[in-house]
Each structure stands twice: as structure tokens, then as C-alpha cells.
Structure 1
């Protein structure tokens, strides 16, 4: 196990623009009549510290069984963004085994666990925390808020190609490996 730092190679304003673009893209894919509650938390120095989004899709055609929750704590360092932790989650309201969740939880390192991982159904995937590259071939080090939204959109439309299945997840690898995001 190694200590982990997660950086997004762009300025905070650019990252926020990408996040808002991801939210708009998600909206376009589900409906044009709903708004997504997007919260930005700032510290006492008015520096952005956390992005949070909770999408209730229960009344949206083709997405009525899924909820999406996204949270990320950040700090701007020089001309890049340091992610201090995140949780990107989509889950089926009626099937507890149908979910994707990606976490960066630095507190886990002190307990001997990997901070960056994909949460999984233990019965199906044999482990609760899947680690790159030992358990899954998705390069989670390239994951960010924007790419997580793209993965979730693809997952709902192509659930037979599961991101955790190393034999069918090429479309998700392409999302993660795309440069410039």
C-alpha cells in the first residue's frame, strides 16, 4: 500500500467549469426540465473547498431507479487542484447490488487500507474495495468528477458492460484515459 495524493492538472476555476459542464451534460441526457442542485462550499477565506451534488432521478424517465451523489473536497495548489477526498456514487433504488461507487478516503490509509478504490458488491466481485491495478484495470488515478459523471451516464445505458468487469469495460477505460480532462 502506498500513500496517495490525487491532483487534477488544471486551475480550480477550470475544474469548476468542467464540473458544471458535466452537470449540464447529465441534465441533457436525462431531461431539460429538471435542475440539479449543485452546492459549492467555501472556507472563511472564500476559497472553494467542496463540491457537492445530489441528483434525485426518481421522476425522470429511464433514470427513475437511480440516484446519484457526488462529493469532492479540494484545495488549489499553484495551478492545479488537489483532491483531498471524494465519493462518486450511483445506485439503484430497487436493487441494492446495482451500484457504482468510487472513493478517495485518505483516513483509510492510517487503517492499512487503500485510500483510492471502487466499492463493490462483495458477493459478485469477491471484495468490497477494488484497487487498480490489482483488482480492476480501470486506472482510478485518472478519475475525477467530470469523468465519473461520464462513466455513470454510460453505465445506466450499458449496464451489461460493467466498469468492474475487466473483460467488458473498454468503454470506461476510454473515458478515464482521455487526456485533457
Structure 2
């Protein structure tokens, strides 16, 4: 009888060990898959974000984010928030680093804005939507679509600063703002 309990305990212990490794393996594979899917340009609307950050209201504001993967789980990118009616004069451009760990996406911006965590989301090859957590008590809803036609030419300035002679433009190596967004 003692051998029976010993063998039963060993079998249960072995199953537990292999099961926990199996869960970590699948979480790892899911993170890798989501990082691959996230790679690229996404354009859409982020609810309350424009008001929270710049005090702007209305439906004419959009965000476009570019994610480039540098490892299986992380990478860098940049984001531009802009007014659809004056895209090249009212905008905010900021670079960021991102990573995925156990299904949670973290975005660390180059400016002083809080890190953003995305835990509750849906991601497919053409749609990225869910909720962002920037440390405030507000739920920030976002709806982005894959956008392989967005022209980054105007903002594609990694490491380049804009002229300081324009009084409505603020700039640094990784952050640029103009018009309504320059505060």
C-alpha cells in the first residue's frame, strides 16, 4: 500500500511539472505570434486620449502607430497623433519601445508620458482594438486598423530634429509637436 501511494504521488508530481512547463510554452508561443502580428502600421481612433493629453475634443483626431519587431517579443516604433483636417500642421510625433509578456503589451514612450499597458485587447491581421491603461483611472478605448498605405515620409525622421525657428513647433530627437499638439 505504501508503494501505491508513493507511485501515485510521483505520477501526480510529474504531471504537475510537465503541465506548468506546457502552459509557459504556449504563453511564449502566443506572445511571439502576437508580436509578429503587431509588426507594421496601424491607424485609428483612441477614445479620450486626445482630451486627456492635450485637451482636444472632436472626431477629427487620429493616431497612427508603427511597430517594428527587433526580437521575438519586443521592438521599437513611433506614433503620430494628428488632426485629419490639418495633418501636417497639427500633430504630435513620438518614438516608443514596446514589449509583450504573458499577453500584456507595454509601450514606453520617449517623452514623459506614462507607460501604457494593453491587457484587454483583440488582435488580428487587420484589426487591433481594446483598452489601454496609462495609469489614470480612465478606460482608454482604441480601435486601429492595419494600414500598409500610410505615408510616413513627413514624419519618418528617426534621430532628426525639426527647425526651432517655427514657434508653433517643439522638437527633440524623438519627439515633435506642432500646432494644437505643441504644448
Could you state the TM-score of these two structures normalised by the residue count of structure 2?
0.28
Could you state the TM-score of these two structures normalised by the residue count of structure 1?
0.28
Structure with a larger share of its residues in strand: 2
Larger radius of gyration: 2
